[in-house]
Amino acid sequence: MKNRGTDYTRREFLATSTTGLVSVGLVSLSPRMAFGQDVKESAERPEAEIIYRQLGKTGLKLPIVSQGAGACNDAGVIQASYELGVRHFDTAANYQFGANEQLVGDVVRRMGVRNKVAIASKIYTPRQRRNLNEKQAKKKLATLLEGSLRRLRTDYVDILYIHDVSTTEIVNDPVITETMKHLKRQGKVRYIGFSTHANMTEVLNEVARTGAWDVVLTSINFTMADDTDLLKAIANAAKKGVGIIGMKVMAGGSRWPNPDSRREYSSSTIATASLKWVLRNENITTVIPGYNNHQHMKEDFSVAGNLEYTEEESNLLSDNSIKLGMGFCRQCRTCLASCPRDVDIPTLMRTHMYAAQYANFHLARATLDDIPRQNSLRTCSSCDICVAQCANTVDIRRRIEELKVMYA
């Protein structure tokens, strides 16, 4: 169906010229070739000794670089990651509609290394937990976990997250808390936690206060260096024994930096500088950069033994134009109060990031579907009121218009 304000369908939009696609970060190439580089089948271990950190009170010790496997569909990359030194793989029940869990589980089982790796998965998305009574919620959680265990081909998952939590009400929901603890007592889950993209400070502080949860997977990257409240919340949670794992560490997919950034810095420098900035915070145990080819795997894991900045990395991190150029939506939600139609702008910005910067249309569709219809894309009138409220100068209107072309 064509969008009312455009002559393009989603299919036509994605079929436009390469130049047009690059301008918005969209490339319709296969995952193995999406970055225009040769793929090598062997991995080389970095010379420096790999740095390990303990994950809060769990007792797990992990290398500081892990794999966010969500967009990967190449078994060879996952196997090579293990051979290189990765020991933690992050997936979710809705990544690639379950196929990603199957891939991770198949590789781990085939290699016979289940007791040597920590697998994390996520269940119970905002849409899945909507409008359930107590009995339904308990059954839903148990059923979702059984599905993940079946796809992962294992009888336990090391870390199980409630997916996409942005309110303390979910942190304190007694049905969720007790059911997750019950699954843990059954031995089907070793450690329980949340993933959080928005209101991270409040979620982290509440998890630290309650002491009921083991791990938090939180957004954190160098564009958020001035968010002192978030950094304090991370430190506070870590001090209380909560394991902290970092995501969105590339500032929303810096594999697709803006053209001005590319003229000054290589994509490799942007990636390694971004990773080092996060990992120099010792309150963060490990990070889960998403990659799906061997070159990016080696780039990301190259920092696992040495967090000292190169001169070029230092220059990049001190360049304020780079932070602004990333256009990263911090999910601070200050735009929400200004919207006359109650549109969930932060989640739409995250949807755009997955589609345009990650080129992960499965995850973009799933994220968009998590928004209640009355708060979603069709409701937005592109009135521009939210743009003036954005603290990080994100081009909200352009991104929403691109989403309308793809999905409305």
Q: Consecutive sets of 10 residues in the chain, 408 residues long: mean pLDDT of each?
A: 32 33 30 31 59 97 97 96 98 95 98 98 94 96 98 98 95 97 98 95 97 97 93 98 96 58 79 96 97 95 98 91 72 80 84 79 84 85 78 78 82
The secondary structure element, H or E, covering residue 162 is strand 157-162
pLDDT per residue as tens digits for the range 305-327: 999 999 999 999 998 777 766 67
pLDDT recorded at residue 290: 93
- What sections of 187-266 are H helices per DSSP? 200-210, 228-239, 259-264
Name the β-bridge partners of 189.
157
- State the burial class of residue 227 (Cβ atoms within 10 Å of its Cβ: 0-12, 13-18, 19+): middle
Q: Which two tokens stand for residue 256?
A: 């697709």
Helix (H), strand (E) counts: the chain: 17, 10
Distances (CA, A) of 75 to 87, 108, 121, 141: 15, 10, 18, 28
The domain spans of the chain are 10-30+329-407, 39-321
Residue carrying the six token digits 């040495």:
306
Domain 39-321 architecture: Alpha-Beta Barrel (3.20)
What does the block give as tokens for 377?
Answer: 């894309």
pTM value? 0.81
The tokens for 16 are: 């436009």
Q: Are 163 and 124 a contacting pair, CB within 8 Å? A: yes
Decide: 230 and 200 in contact? Cβ < 8 Å: yes
| Residue 207 near residue 236 (C-beta atoms within 8 A) | no
